[in-house]
């Protein structure tokens, strides 16, 4: 079975539903779930909150606001994989 240490020995390619910690060069830390993956960038979901109830949102089927941070491939080497929530591993 592959361990977390084994995975970190190889270049990490983010996948949707991975929980990552992004420690940037300046020391800023961002952590959350990978929400979207593309060859150009990924987004990391750092928070979710309910949409306010008003005349514009009462009939929407999406009731949450997702707070996302963009991470480009040149920074993927700064990501630390923690776990996933896919259930297949």
Question: pLDDT tens digits for 51-84?
Answer: 877 776 667 777 788 999 999 999 999 999 999 9
Q: Specify whether the CB–CB gap between 65 and 50 falls below 8 A.
A: yes
Q: Is residue 89 predicted with pLDDT exceeding 80?
A: no
Q: Specify whether the CB–CB gap between 16 and 37 falls below 8 A.
A: yes
**Three-class SS state of 47:** strand
Question: pLDDT tens digits for 2-39?
Answer: 555 555 556 889 999 999 999 998 889 999 999 999 99
pTM (global) more than 0.95: no
| Cα 74 to chain centroid, rounded | 16
38 Cβ contact list (under 8 Å, min separation 6): none
Q: Where are the alpha helices (DSSP H) in the chain?
A: 4-8
């Amino acid at each position: 079975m592959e361990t977390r240490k084994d995975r970190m020995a190889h270049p990490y390619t983010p996948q949707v539903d991975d929980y990552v910690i992004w420690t940037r060069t300046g020391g800023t830390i961002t952590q959350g779930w990978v929400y979207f993956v593309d060859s150009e960038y990924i987004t990391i979901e750092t928070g979710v909150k309910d949409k306010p109830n008003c005349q514009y949102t009462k009939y929407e089927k999406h009731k949450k606001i997702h707070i996302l941070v963009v991470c480009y491939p040149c920074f993927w080497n700064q990501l630390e994989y923690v776990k996933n929530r896919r259930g297949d591993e």
